[in-house]
Structure 1
Amino acid sequence: MMERSSARRFWIANALVWTLYVGVSIGLGGAFGGASSGLVLISAALGFFLWIGSGVLRMLAIRRGWFGLGGRALTLRLVAGIAIVGAITQAGIAAILVPALRLRWVALPGGGTPYGWGPVTGYWINTCVVLGVWTAAWVGRRALRRARDSEIIALRAESERGRLELEALRARLNPHFVFNALNNVRALILEDPDRARELVTRLSATLRHALEHSQREWTTLREELAVVDDYLAVEAVHYEQRLRTHMDVDPAVLDARLPPMALQLLVENAIKHGIARTAGGGLLSVRAGRAGDALTIDVVNPGRLDASTSGTGVGLAFLRNRLRDCGGRFSLEERGDGVHAHLEIPR
């Protein structure tokens, strides 16, 4: 719809430009060479052919994707198109003018037929110059509009990313997680002060990482595992024997990069939708390795995949957005041993 509206505006502007050009040509020709019916015919035919030719040239440029090419490729195609349209325009004028002169329907100052290799070359060059100026005008305007639209799209994407980051940050500061941790700290203060101090330290490290995650584009698996270790230590106090964990990490991928909070998000999701909803809890398994040049992470929990755990939450939406930017992949599926979250990040 927008392209159709743009085409309509172009054809109107195109008609106005060439109508003005015809009027100026007739006026200047009459002022310097004397008014004549032949001059009027030449100017009118020239304006008509250029109106059609410039419209066809624009249509070809759009339909064949010339604007998606580099500047040099676009320029070469436009120059060739201008040369061809100029030649067709002069051929069309000659096809109309020569018979009209011979039949004496029109006349030119001085009489005769103004055609020869020299004059024809001059007419063609002048036509190409005029058409080239108009072509440069609408191409430049379209390029500016495309640049503006691209900037708007980029700003919208950045705004959406910022929104997802903010929502993901809010999700990471889960009040239930914080409240449970604080209640556990309170309960441990008198029973086991040393364990209470350790829990406060672990909780502090988890929250600090959550607050700082938006300041970094990437982290290492080693750093992410340290955060997950703190997080699991806090949750272990709450779930006790219901939460069992197994880590299988290839030492060769410890320095591999991944988005901050990516692994912690999957672990938290596994506890929230798997361990917490399964009678007696279960085993949360984390495996990290390499497939080719990509880092692969699998987080398995004993839950089930339903409408509430299908991966449509804010946190997973943020993760998918980050992975799309870097060419990574994410999948969530239910198998015989539980729900598998698979993360793949190119090197």
Structure 2
Amino acid sequence: MNAPPAIPHEKLYWTSQFSGWLIYVLLMWILNRLDGQGMNWYFFLNLLTTFLLGVVISHGYRILIIKFNWLKFKIIQLIPRVIITSILCGAVLFISHSFISEVLIAGDWPTYQGLEILQTTINLAVIFMLWSLLYFLFHFIQNYRKEEIKNLKWQALSTEVELNKLKSQLNPHFIFNSMNSIRALIEEDPVKSKDSITQLSNILRSSLLMNRQKVISLAEELQLVKDYLALEQTRYEERLDVVLDIPKDVLDHKIPPMLLQTLVENGIKHGISKLESGGKIEVKAERNKDILYLRIENSGVYDTAQKSSTGFGLINSQQRINLLYGEEGSLLINNTERGTVMAELFLPKDIKSFKIDKTEKDESNNN
């Protein structure tokens, strides 16, 4: 069974606005009737004025919330802002209502006592505090649900990465090629063959463990890449030239697990391995302020017309970047004039939980 379509936020907001203030004036009418007072045109116009002013002033309050991004504040920061603004809104409603009902409608200047003014303003401020509670509570619940959805998406992507990595690394071709290379080394270079076995086990173990984390340090990811490249160099020998240019001061930067390794593997599998003479793969990193820049450049050609040939890796990598960094992170892959393929990663230092999609951002900015 399909879920019912969600009500657009803007429509839901206005429905709630009109319904809420209508309920308020109906309560005023009921209390008036219980007090034994009859209904007349003056009282009706008073209720209508209260309804319209309530909608207009609370909408202005909402504009203030959006403009100064109050939804990003912590509760302790919101409380004083809500109290002060509610008192101001209550005072504005009282003054404007008094002017319209007493001066414009009744044709008389109001004569309120100081205590009566204070009491009425406080009562109206309580109404605006209740409005604030409902407004912020709705958005807190919405944000919580969005975070839950993002977490579920992340878990699904992580599971997909893990399963597909296992498929790619535990398939017969991978095992056969790796073990053949290691077997050839046993008599020729026993020490190197032991190192290769260690590197293979590290790769397989990392596939199982790393994807359980949202992020790992570049240092951890780089160790996996080094093991992978060392194993591939054993296989390709002189056909694979590796250059790593990674400054130590960027090794603490957090990145999604298996991200760099996927791009390196992609460069060898779909680029260098298809060249009879082999080729070169270069990995370079630098950090500008809080943005980590990673460049993976390899010999070969990136066939943009057949992106599916590169497998799940690139699509999954882009999805994970979008989930963690939103529009601040990016992955670009292009052919260069040098006859190479260049993959470029831009990853911010701070991961602000899960970002909202652009469409969700636009929608939330209107509420």
Q: Tell me the amino acid that sits aligned with residue 111 of structure 2.
A: G
Query: Which digits, 9 at most, give the CA deviation of each residue in 1:228-268, with x for residues without a partner?
Result: 22212332344444322223343554555544323222211
Query: Which digits, 9 at most, give the CA deviation of each residue in 1:106-159, with x for residues without a partner?
Result: xxxxxxx895353xx455445434433332333212221111001011111111
Pick one of 115, 119, 132 that aligns with 2:125: 132
Looking at structure 2, the residues matched to 296 and 159 of structure 1 have their Cα atoms a distance apart, in angstroms, of 28
Q: Secondary structure at the match of 1:313?
A: helix
Q: Tell me the amino acid that sits aligned with residue 91 of structure 2.
A: A
* Structure 1 residues 23-42: aligned runs within 5 Å: 23-28=30-35, 30=36, 40=40
Looking at structure 2, the residues matched to 237 and 19 of structure 1 have their Cα atoms a distance apart, in angstroms, of 82
* Structure 1 residues 18-167: aligned runs within 5 Å: 18-28=25-35, 30=36, 40=40, 43-65=43-65, 68-69=69-70, 71=78, 72-95=80-103, 98-99=106-107, 116-118=111-113, 121=114, 123-167=116-160
Which residue is equivalent to 2:280? 283
The gaps in structure 1 that reach 5 residues or longer are 100-112
Looking at structure 1, the residues matched to 347 and 13 of structure 2 have their Cα atoms a distance apart, in angstroms, of 41
Alpha-carbon distance, 1:288 to partner: 3.2
Instruction: Give the alignment's TM-score, normalised by structure 2.
Output: 0.74
Higher RCO by CA contacts (8 Å cutoff, separation 6 or greater): 2
Q: Secondary structure at the match of 2:342?
A: strand
Aligned residues: 325
**Residue pair 2:271, 2:299 contacting (<8 A) in 1 also:** yes
Identify which range, 79-88 or 274-283, moves more after superposition: 274-283
Query: Which digits, 9 at most, give the CA deviation of each residue in 1:16-43, with x for residues without a partner?
Result: 3212312312431x3xxxx578xx5554
Q: Against the structure 1 CA distance between its residues 201 and 14, is the aligned structure 2 distance closer, same or farther, given a 3 Å change threshold? A: same
Looking at structure 1, the residues matched to 56 and 274 of structure 2 have their Cα atoms a distance apart, in angstroms, of 65
Q: Secondary structure at the match of 1:116?
A: coil
The reply on whether 1:321 has 2:322 as its aligned counterpart is yes
Q: Tell me the amino acid that sits aligned with residue 116 of structure 1.
A: T
Looking at structure 2, the residues matched to 20 and 130 of structure 1 have their Cα atoms a distance apart, in angstroms, of 14
**Residue pair 1:284, 1:301 contacting (<8 A) in 2 also:** yes
**Residue pair 1:184, 1:237 contacting (<8 A) in 2 also:** no
**Residue pair 1:26, 1:43 contacting (<8 A) in 2 also:** no
Q: Against the structure 1 CA distance between its residues 326 and 85, is the aligned structure 2 distance closer, same or farther, given a 3 Å change threshold? A: closer
Which residue is equivalent to 1:104? none
The RMSD of aligned alpha carbons is 3.4
Looking at structure 2, the residues matched to 2 and 292 of structure 1 have their Cα atoms a distance apart, in angstroms, of 37
- Greater Rg over alpha carbons, structure: 1
Q: Percent identity?
A: 22
